[in-house]
Amino acid sequence: MGVRSPNNLGFFCGKITSTISFVRTYAVGFVHFGRQIVTSHARMTEIPINSGKTAIVTGGARGIGIEIVKQLLQADMRVIIACRSVSSGEKAIKQIRVEGVKSGVAECIPLELASLDSVRKFVDAFLSLGIPLNILINNAGILAPPYKLTLDGLESQFQINYFSHFLLTVLLTPALVRGGHQGDGLSRIVNISSIMSEIGDVNFEDLLMSKFYDRNAAYSNTKLMQIVSSCHLNRQFVAKNLPVRAYSVHPGVVKTELAIYSPVYFMMKLVLWLFAKTPSQAVDTVVYTALSDELIDCGGTFISNCKIIRPNWKAEDIEIQDKLWELSCKLCKLGRNEKAINTLTVDPFVVNAGRIN
């Protein structure tokens, strides 16, 4: 259900604030786009084989998500595509197979990120499979759509980009812990963020921008919140000696329809077509982060073009990390046991019948 965008600044002040935000966003974006154009593209020389391991990719039916699934299948993994439409996911799998990728196993489980209830149902469906989880790639997202509230009462961009992925990650942490214990390496969480997190903010006085909403600022804020969450989770994993690591990735400026809501999208299309990374190139850093042995001891980092870069300073602020964690748990209605990532109170691989896989 949609509602009018909140604006307590007044019409003219709101327009001025939005214009400044728009100019700032695209100025920063084009600076980094220019750097991308003149920088050599980096990638792994060979995708390592990870037979027997399982990955979940949100938004794996379109955009760069398809390419992530494709490369993970080339690594001979079992890949769960989490997407709104199972038919779209199955169509993506057929496309990958037609392109010649025969290795790995792919399947779809429905997930609507605009619904916290759907997130919980997805987790239940995955856990019922009775298999460990080795890699979780939180890829799905939207960029600067019109203001809209979900049925959970959260603004859609904040929920889809951050809160639903936060809930998904926390609920799947026991499965990731099991995957790390059973595998020959650490399980990994990869959050697809953006270089626009550089100008993001975490305003605890108005986290969801309910006083004044600016779609461009909201995108940058959600991308920063992803990195803050990754840093916090990784700090907890290390402190509690759990076999999981969390990372954030900037895939680059990519030839996709992510920016379709932008008022200048049709002018951008030609520039993107000429100079932006292809989806295949964009996921090279994602897959590098998910599979490379070079990053085993580098959890909590922000990675771009297969290199660790410094994130927005707020991402490394422990006080901000802790406050965002507590508020996120509250808004996602996590119970005490669910958010205690150091205590596996319920073994996720105990099936209803009592059989342990």
Catalytic residue among 213, 219, 247, 288: 219
Which residues have a Cβ under 8 Å from the Cβ of 82 and sit 6 or more positions away? 56, 57, 58, 59, 60, 108, 109, 110, 111, 122, 140
Closest of 20, 55, 201 to residue 134, by C-alpha:
55
Joined together, the tokens standing for residue 72 give 């993970």
- Judged on CB neighbours under 10 Å (0-12, 13-18, 19+), 76 is middle
Q: Which of 38, 40, 33 is nearest to 271 (CA)?
A: 33
Structure tokens at 30: 């084009």
**Please, what's the largest Cα pairwise distance for the chain?**
64
Question: 302-304 and 307-309 as β-strands: parallel, antiparallel, unpaired?
Answer: antiparallel
Check if 261 is active-site: no
**Amino acid (one-letter) located at 129:** L
Pick left, alpha or beta for residue 52 (phi over 0 → left; psi -120 to 50 → alpha; otherwise beta).
left
**139 in Cβ contact with 288 (< 8 Å):** no
- Token pair, residue 75, equals 């690594």
How is residue 191 annotated by DSSP? E
Catalytic residues: 219
